[in-house]
Amino acid sequence: MKVVIFAGGLGTRLAEETDVRPKPMVEIGGKPILWHIMKIYDSFGFNEFVVCLGYKGFFIKEYFMQYYLHNSDITIELESNKVNVHYTNAESFTVTLVDTGLHTKTAGRLKKVQKYLGDEDFMLTYGDGVADINIKELLAFHQSHNKIATVTAVQPEGRFGSMEIEANGIVDHFKEKPKGDNKWINGGFFVLKPDVFNYLNAENIDDVMWEDAPMQALANNKQLVAYKHNGFWKPMDALRDKIELENLWQSGNAKWKTW
């Protein structure tokens, strides 16, 4: 089963990093977050990827074109231009890199890679978020309900602590950064049937967000089912998120490291 990854956005909220490279290439522990996402899927046996490129997509192409070389011990004979590879730590990924347009929105990007997916179910996620999700359990859940689309629902950590205050001002209860407020949000990590492309036929599909009309139509037709993930989930939306993920990796507490 193939995994589609959205990796073409401008990443404007992480401009400190994305002025010079696309957001999925921002590094955590010396590796692009895109690599971390692929490793999550690979740890469950899914290693065929279709990456939707856009902003500075050539960085991602060059990264994978040079991946084998950069992860190998080599001897170079300069006079003959001969290269001997002694050891490699390359991954078993198969990666299809597709230019889907600089300003194309997510529904349009998904439509543009349809021809690379065949007539089988496939997975879809974003190129900037990690989780300790069990991909095989997600897939089994998707196959159990026989609907077109499964979305992983998550409850993000709150940014601020919460207090319950009595009428006289006494704080009755304090909770540091409560997890969500009983609200579930789209955490990515979709599983989709090929029938989903019936929802991507608008003439202006390049200007449509996957999260807007297509997902709303799926929900209206009772074809969208939520898989509730109660574990770790973290998007890299801003610099503070990048720093938090880096600190988790360096401290050995990277919960998304399922490999």
For residue 240, the enclosing domain spans 2-153+184-250
Residue 199 located in a structural domain: yes
Residue 160 located in a structural domain: no
Say if CB 190 and CB 123 are below 8 A apart: yes
Distances (CA, A) of 180 to 155, 161, 165: 5, 11, 19
Residue 83 located in a structural domain: yes
pLDDT tens digits along 193-250: 999 999 999 999 999 999 999 999 999 999 999 999 999 999 999 999 999 999 999 9
Question: What is the pLDDT, as a whole number, of residue 13?
Answer: 74
Residue 161 located in a structural domain: no
Integer Cα distance of 98 and 136 in angstroms = 26
pLDDT confidence bin for 173, thresholds 50/70/90 = low
pLDDT tens digits along 73-106: 999 999 999 989 888 888 999 999 999 999 999 9
- The CATH number assigned to the domain holding 200 equals 3.90.550.10
Say if CB 196 and CB 125 are below 8 A apart: no
pLDDT above 60 for 156: yes
Percentage of the chain beyond pLDDT 90 is: 78
Count of alpha carbons within 13 Å of 116, Cβ hemisphere only?
Answer: 22
Say if CB 57 and CB 97 are below 8 A apart: yes
Residue 179 located in a structural domain: no
pTM: 0.90
pLDDT confidence bin for 122, thresholds 50/70/90 = very high
Tokens of 72: 């190998």
Displacement of CA 125 from its chain's centroid (Å)? 4
Residue indicated by tokens 């490793």 = 39
CB burial class (10 A; 0-12, 13-18, 19+) of residue 61? middle
CB burial class (10 A; 0-12, 13-18, 19+) of residue 52? buried
Spatial neighbors of 221 by CB under 8 A, at least 6 apart, are none
pLDDT confidence bin for 255, thresholds 50/70/90 = very high
**Number of domains the chain contains:** 1
Alpha helix stretches (DSSP H) within the chain: 15-18, 33-42, 57-65, 67-70, 106-112, 135-145, 213-220, 239-250
Residue 80 located in a structural domain: yes
Question: What is the pLDDT, as a whole number, of residue 108?
Answer: 98
pLDDT tens digits along 17-67: 778 889 999 999 999 999 999 999 999 999 999 999 999 999 999 999 999
Residue 166 located in a structural domain: no
pLDDT confidence bin for 70, thresholds 50/70/90 = confident
Best mean pLDDT range from 70-74, 89-93, 150-154: 150-154
Residue 226 located in a structural domain: yes
